[in-house]
A = this chain, B = another copy of it.
C-alpha cells in the first residue's frame, strides 16, 4: 500500500473536529483526501469551521508535515459536516448479510500484515485473500472487526474501521501497488448506538464497483452485531495496473 495510515489519518482528522472548542453536533459526513503518504513524524492539523448554521457546521481541514527539505507541506485534506440531530423516522435498505457469527470464526493471522492490522481483531466471513488466490469475479469481502486492545467504539474508531479492507483490485486482478486516495464516510449512529456496540464486533462489507485506468471505487457498509447500519463509506483507490 502507498501509506499504512489511512484509517488512522481519517480518525485523526475527525478527532480534530470533535476536539475543536467551537464544534457543534455529531458527525454526519467526513471526506479525507490522501494528498501524499503520511510519514511517521509529527503532524499538525488545521481545522477551520468555515460555516456554522443553527444546527449544522461545515469544516475544512489540512494535515501538515515537515518534509525532508524542512518545508511544511499538505499531506492530507478533509471536509466534514457535524450536526445536531433530532430523532426521526428510521429505515434502511441494507439488510445485514447472513454470515457466521464472529465467535465461530478465528482471528486472522498477523503474519506478513502491516503493523496497524494488529490493532484489530479481524475475522473473515468471506472474500479472504490468501497466497495463491486466483483472480475472482467478485471483489466482495465480509469481515467482523473489533479493536485490539479492545476499547469502546466511538465515531473516530468507526471512521478508522471503514478503511480496514485490503484493496479490492487484489481479489480481481492480483497483487499490485494500490492505495486509497479519497474516502468519504457517512455516520448513521448516535452515542446511544455506539454505546450499544461498546467493545463488540462490527460487521464490515466491502465491494469494488468500477475499475478503470488506475482507479477503482469501493463501497463499504458497517453493521452492529444487532444488525443496525452504523456507517456507509466509499473510497476511490489508486492501483498501478
Task: Please report A residues at the B interface, Cβ cutoff 8 Å.
Answer: 28-29, 31, 33, 35-36, 50-51, 53, 56, 58, 60, 62, 73-75, 77-79, 81, 83, 85-94, 138-139, 172-173, 181-182, 184, 186, 188-190, 207-217, 219, 221, 229, 232, 234, 236, 238-239, 241
A241 close to B86 (CB less than 8 A): yes
With contact pairs A88-B213, A89-B173, A188-B217 given, residues A33 and B236 touching in the complex (Cβ less than 8 Å): no
Binding site of A, secondary structure by majority: helix, strand, loop or mixed?
strand
B29 close to A50 (CB less than 8 A): no
A211 close to B81 (CB less than 8 A): no
Contact partner of A35 (CB less than 8 A), chosen from B58, B75, B236, is B58
A89 close to B28 (CB less than 8 A): no
Copies of this chain present in the complex amount to 2
Q: Which residues of chain B come closer than 8 Å to A74, judged between CB atoms? A: 50-51, 58
Contact partner of A217 (CB less than 8 A), chosen from B36, B172, B181, B186, is B186
Apart from A186-B234, A186-B236, A190-B213, 18 more pairs, CB < 8 Å = A28-B181, A31-B79, A33-B79, A35-B58, A36-B53, A60-B62, A85-B213, A86-B213, A86-B241, A87-B213, A88-B211, A88-B213, A88-B214, A91-B173, A92-B212, A209-B229, A219-B234, A234-B234
